[in-house]
Structure formats: C-alpha cells, structure tokens
C-alpha cells in the first residue's frame, strides 16, 4: 500500500497470461497500482525484460505516490472533467 493525495493505492506485481505460467518464465512483467477512492484509478507498468525491473518498480511507486486530482482547465477535454497529475 502507498499513500497518495487521492487515497491509498494498492500495488501488486502480476504475470499476465496462462502461457507464461505454463512456460514458467515471464514474457512480460507488470506492476499495477489501483487507487480505489472516488476516482478508481488504475495504473500499469509493463516490461518485456526483467533487466532493470527493480529500478522501474521503485520509479513506478514514486509516480503512484505523486498522484493527485486537479480540476481540468475549461478548454481541456478530460475523463469526467478531471485531470490526474502524476
């Protein structure tokens, strides 16, 4: 769990795809962050190589921590009139 300005984020690492589990090696790595507050925001980091994965995970957590909601400028089209800043 990581605290953000939008609420707590749940972060989980997953290996997508049944074929990857059968092969017993990840063909893609994924890290997902879900913020279940009012916004229900899902962020995903994916990589095809484990090279540098530890560094990428640390940077992803920093990005998730920085999540906040701001009103969208009047001339900007945004999902449900919200802009999510990271």
- For residues 48-55, average pLDDT: 88
Per DSSP, helices labelled H in 9-76 are 18-23, 53-65
At 23, list the tokens.
């092969």
Range of the domain at 30: 2-72+80-85
Residue 54 has pLDDT above 60, yes or no: yes
- For residues 45-61, average pLDDT: 90
How many domains, the chain?
1
pLDDT of residue 26: 62
- For residues 17-39, average pLDDT: 77
- Tell me the C-alpha distance between 9 and 42, whole Å: 9
At 76, list the tokens.
């900007």
Closest CA to 4 of 68, 84, 82, 85: 68
pLDDT of residue 85: 61
């Amino acid at each position: 769990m990581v605290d953000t300005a939008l609420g707590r984020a749940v972060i989980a690492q997953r290996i997508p795809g049944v074929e990857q589990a059968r092969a017993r090696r990840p063909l893609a790595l994924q890290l997902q962050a879900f913020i279940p507050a009012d916004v229900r925001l899902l962020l995903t980091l994916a990589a095809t190589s484990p090279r540098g994965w530890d560094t990428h995970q640390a940077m992803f957590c920093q990005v998730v921590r920085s999540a906040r909601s701001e009103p969208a400028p009047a001339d900007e089209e945004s999902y449900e009139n919200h802009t999510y800043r990271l």
